[in-house]
Structure 1
């Protein structure tokens, strides 16, 4: 037995020796662009033999296999490579060069000048509906929430988006690709109009403050592209109650979840708040209005989508203010406005092609009455009547080249028909702007991509055409760091309100240069952006005063001799619950240097709507145990310049000159809001309720937006907010839908 055991042990060692002697070493290096790649799995196909590359891309393993085999190299970020090898009795050396795996998730995206919020970009998403509703001071309005992002100026006395030294009319807002011509409600001079569209209507947006896509035009400064929701998660009924408005609506989802329809109606009036708060503005007719909307959405069997949205809004207000003219005690302005908007869109995939077709119709009517008042009587009213019909149609066909490259093209028609009647000025402005565009996204690798486009337009009113090239490039510097560069040429027609007589006019234009460095990681985002804008062919105007007693000036376009520039730096930092538990905050700083010689400016001046320094901060804290969200926001802006510009004739030549000028006090506003969810956590709750308390300008800062001057320039009055501190209390109730998880996940 002992001898037998010795034989078995000898046989065991002999076989081990033979097997060890038969092992062959396979080694090599795996690289991408001559740089070694770590963590690459190197495997002898259909065996268990293999290894993983080290930090320099080297690998080595031993195998007892013989003959012809396949060696595979796999890594999630690179394309799999297979190499044929022959294993005999000598070591085998194999090197491999990998190609980058193109991925929609990993690919760098051009982002210079733009901020995107959508389901696909949740990590750095901004301005989702939840963001807007929970931003103190935004009042649930998209345009107000934009004031807390880089590049946007808060100009409280006028409606519109003031972007990087541009006027409020130099930006455009689109819904599902179609132009919205009446996004803001009608208002009177010195009081900004409000958003007319419900924030919850939209599921995402792209805000571009420069260098935007060739698919959009007629905007010298920037665009906001809103994307409406597709189908709701389930049917629901909603009620909103507050001292200033009542609203109700519903959304009905089909049983097969392939269609939905809904409607809402609301009425608002400010008279109760006038009694509770100390208003700066003397409203003789408290602002009030009626609004309603309809929508339907249909998903076709082939995956296409039809969407319709229609809106109607009417509003009325009247204001009395002390007259600047010595012969009158008060000046009165009354407004009756109404407008409607309809949007129909369709998208459908046809193999490798995606078709997007959309159209919109807008109607806007504004009836402004100006009069003066003494102790004895009110003067006869002077009316400024305006109404406009606007039709927009756009078709875009897109074809995917690969996962991160695509080409798209299409055309757009924008028809305008406006009428104006004010004293001796009467006009009917008509224009058809025809546009064609083509654009391509080029993904060279996951680290390098470009967007190249060109847009051509023709204006029937101007009788002229233009061609506008656009270009953008993005490169990944490191894992979380990217840089982007954008350039574009942008054209815009002169505003129709200045076209009150014959003049040889052309397109206004601006050139954008944008450079951005961004760091994005889970829950954190840092953006540094520098920009330069050059304006050419801006219109110059001359002031005409139809009636001295009304002190209402009409500016009439003379030529396109205006010019200007805007340059600056912007910083944006957001930390979404990464550093502090349940705390989401962001900070924005913008520096702006801008000058213009346009409209009635006598020389090149800093625009009266552009602040040199702007700082804002937003903080949101969700307290689950209290079922409550607490939100703060703060805005500071360096005082803007103001001017009193008059006009005269010298030897038959129109001359504009400055009589009074200065700088406003710095703007400050601290805002506060609380959202309380009494149904939070109650799974059997039949209704979901949100109670809201919001206080704008908590500290009561007496901000000034500008000054009005008398006809001779000897007297002035400040343009101030209607109220220094505004308090809002409201309740929003949804029946038939449980939003508990949404509230927890989104920190409502």
Structure 2
């Protein structure tokens, strides 16, 4: 009996031991917005017990733990969740609802109307400085490179960004937030001015072809926001030499690595190329110019920056054209231009706040003299002289609400003081545009975000105030697919050059509606955009007189009775991944636009708008040869042209179309080569690039428009100064080797 009792006691003790370590099943389901989430790690805190959810979000595991425990749910895209549970001798069932983890990298960003190159988290980088320098046909100019993006029209006879049916003056360019009033050099009618600013001055840009932020104003069509470089990596000395220019400069980095300063000086003259190439334009004085600039940058203790940039340039040229009038005399136009620009900016954190403040000043003089070959003394009588002083002051204060939400607001002052004299016309135009704005970025989740803003402006000249709300929404459709919608109201003063007499004028107005679908993956970007723009209160002008340049009228604004629309579709594809060492992009734009403005007699297709524009850019780097080969091609459907005149009908002067037609289609194939001899020299303290560029390789004879005689019976084509242009040059930097950066960042 004693033996049996001992056996029974041992059996009871053993069963109790086993039961105390018996496995309890823990199961459940993990969801997000009522859908199961896979690959969620489910664990008992401070133990090794747990499981991973399946494709439907279900999980199950067994544990021998007892008592009060913490069940943890973790996933990289969601916030961690912890749930208390009690484990006894029965199975446990636990369900969990996850909350999305909000972060800057995964969050969808509003991008309707914009192409960004400054924030690499948001999209494939576009139009960095090296992108621009290596785009064949861009001639190293930011504005020219933008012509290869959707929404920008190819208009060669005058400077400016012609965006989605808007004139070149309806887009504005900003540097570190401050308006640049004279971005392009002075020029003569029929020849486009060049960029005044060196492309290497900027580290990135945001180009908006519509629906841009409330922080910017006075542009009916679009805006280009340029961001200047910060401190250089090290000190360097730069030289450039070619048959048309010489340049030299330096950048000195302080020993404390917290400040730098530098300067450049350049001279250009087209005389030699005029002797070598067959120019269409008869330059009696070849285009030439001098440019100089200086800068300093200081990094503050809290990581902010204080920057200064100043520049001065002069340019001149003389052009001889055959007169369209009966006397058949040759007309002479001589230009002297002068410009200075200064920009101060501060970017500084104050606790939770970020301050961006800046001010700029510019002076611009354009001196045009018109005469005939037989009587150059007429030049003083036919002199168009314009002097302009411009001051811009702007401050923006921003506070982060969370990782992807922010609130910002500020003010802007833009002062204009211009004097113009021509024959009997003498005017002094002054205006102060005061603006206040507020804008918020609202990140609701990684899938949904919004940008809501409003801007109000007052013009002292017009004596009127506008109120412009703007809103944009973005939603992630799938992993790599996003869609954005933007709406905005935009205002702009009438151009001062048309204000030559008293008139009751108002702001010009446009409304933008933009829908975008975009797919972005590593090295590839696809964008589709549809837009509609409605124009109201566009200015109408009448002819005040004629100048001596092919009888182009001097016009004065009468009223704001003009109107119009622009609508279209755009496609952009860029691929830097499919082919080794090859980067290419393709853009297509369809534009349907009509306007009744300026001296248009009725609503017509604008003479600067092409219905179809196709561009392709390809870049190939060949490491073995240390050679970059770049191609670009642009096709644009022929634009309409008009010859407007006036006639008297029952005592009333009206405008009518005397001649009209359509230009031939535009075609241009461009080719450039970049040779990098320092490739592979890891210890080299120099960076050299030899450049050979050929614009319009096939020599297509493109036509930009027509000039007409005063009676409309004779005409002459407006053509490029030269059909095919060849550039050869060398750029050398001592003190730093940028070769690998040039390759790695772009191929």
TM-score greater than 0.5 by the shorter chain: yes
Q: Report if the CA contact (8 A) 2:363-2:387 is conserved.
A: yes
Matches within 5 A, 1:27-426: 27-121=27-121, 123-374=123-374, 377-378=375-376, 380-381=378-379, 382-426=382-426
Distance (Å, rounded) in 1 between the aligned partners of 2:50 and 2:685 = 59
1:162 partner SS: coil
Q: Report if the CA contact (8 A) 2:21-2:64 is conserved.
A: no
- Hey, what does 2:701 align to over in structure 1? 702
- Structure 2 segments unaligned to the other structure (5+ residues): 1-6
Distance (Å, rounded) in 1 between the aligned partners of 2:517 and 2:41 = 34
CA 1:356–1:719 in structure 2 vs 1: closer, same or farther (change >3 Å)?
Answer: same
Q: Report if the CA contact (8 A) 1:364-1:387 is conserved.
A: yes
Deviations 1:2-33, CA, capped at 9 Å, x for gaps: xxxxx9xx99xx79993797000000000111
1:665 partner SS: coil
- Hey, what does 1:626 align to over in structure 2? 625
1:22 partner SS: coil
Q: Report if the CA contact (8 A) 1:475-1:484 is conserved.
A: yes
2:624 partner SS: helix
Q: Report if the CA contact (8 A) 2:333-2:549 is conserved.
A: no
Deviations 1:405-443, CA, capped at 9 Å, x for gaps: 001001000000001000011100000000000000000
Distance (Å, rounded) in 2 between the aligned partners of 1:168 and 1:358 = 25
Q: Report if the CA contact (8 A) 2:494-2:539 is conserved.
A: yes
Give how far 1:256 is off: 1.4
Q: Report if the CA contact (8 A) 2:128-2:205 is conserved.
A: yes
Give how far 1:743 is off: 2.6
TM-score between the two structures when normalised by the length of structure 2: 0.97
1:625 partner SS: helix
CA 1:496–1:649 in structure 2 vs 1: closer, same or farther (change >3 Å)?
Answer: farther
Distance (Å, rounded) in 2 between the aligned partners of 1:694 and 1:550 = 33
- Structure 1 segments unaligned to the other structure (5+ residues): 1-6
Deviations 1:75-104, CA, capped at 9 Å, x for gaps: 111110110001111100000001000010
Distance (Å, rounded) in 1 between the aligned partners of 2:674 and 2:363 = 36
Q: Report if the CA contact (8 A) 1:481-1:520 is conserved.
A: yes
TM-score between the two structures when normalised by the length of structure 1: 0.96
Distance (Å, rounded) in 2 between the aligned partners of 1:543 and 1:37 = 70
- Hey, what does 2:515 align to over in structure 1? 515
Q: Report if the CA contact (8 A) 1:328-1:373 is conserved.
A: no
Q: Report if the CA contact (8 A) 2:116-2:123 is conserved.
A: no
- Hey, what does 1:587 align to over in structure 2? 586
Q: Report if the CA contact (8 A) 1:585-1:620 is conserved.
A: yes
Distance (Å, rounded) in 2 between the aligned partners of 1:28 and 1:270 = 78
Give how far 1:549 is off: 8.3
Give how far 1:546 is off: 4.0
1:153 partner SS: coil
2:444 partner SS: strand
- Hey, what does 2:660 align to over in structure 1? 661
Distance (Å, rounded) in 2 between the aligned partners of 1:542 and 1:109 = 46
Give how far 1:260 is off: 0.4
Aligned residues: 735
Distance (Å, rounded) in 2 between the aligned partners of 1:19 and 1:683 = 70
Give how far 1:646 is off: 1.2
Distance (Å, rounded) in 2 between the aligned partners of 1:718 and 1:498 = 25
- Hey, what does 1:614 align to over in structure 2? 613
Alpha-carbon RMSD across the aligned residues, in angstroms, is 1.6
Q: Report if the CA contact (8 A) 1:387-1:419 is conserved.
A: yes
Q: Report if the CA contact (8 A) 1:687-1:736 is conserved.
A: yes
CA 1:163–1:245 in structure 2 vs 1: closer, same or farther (change >3 Å)?
Answer: same
Give how far 1:378 is off: 4.0
Distance (Å, rounded) in 1 between the aligned partners of 2:102 and 2:481 = 18
Distance (Å, rounded) in 2 between the aligned partners of 1:44 and 1:15 = 26
- Hey, what does 1:740 align to over in structure 2? 739
- Hey, what does 1:4 align to over in structure 2? none
- Hey, what does 1:573 align to over in structure 2? 573
Distance (Å, rounded) in 2 between the aligned partners of 1:187 and 1:56 = 67
Deviations 1:648-682, CA, capped at 9 Å, x for gaps: 44455331111100000000000000000111111
Distance (Å, rounded) in 1 between the aligned partners of 2:500 and 2:121 = 46
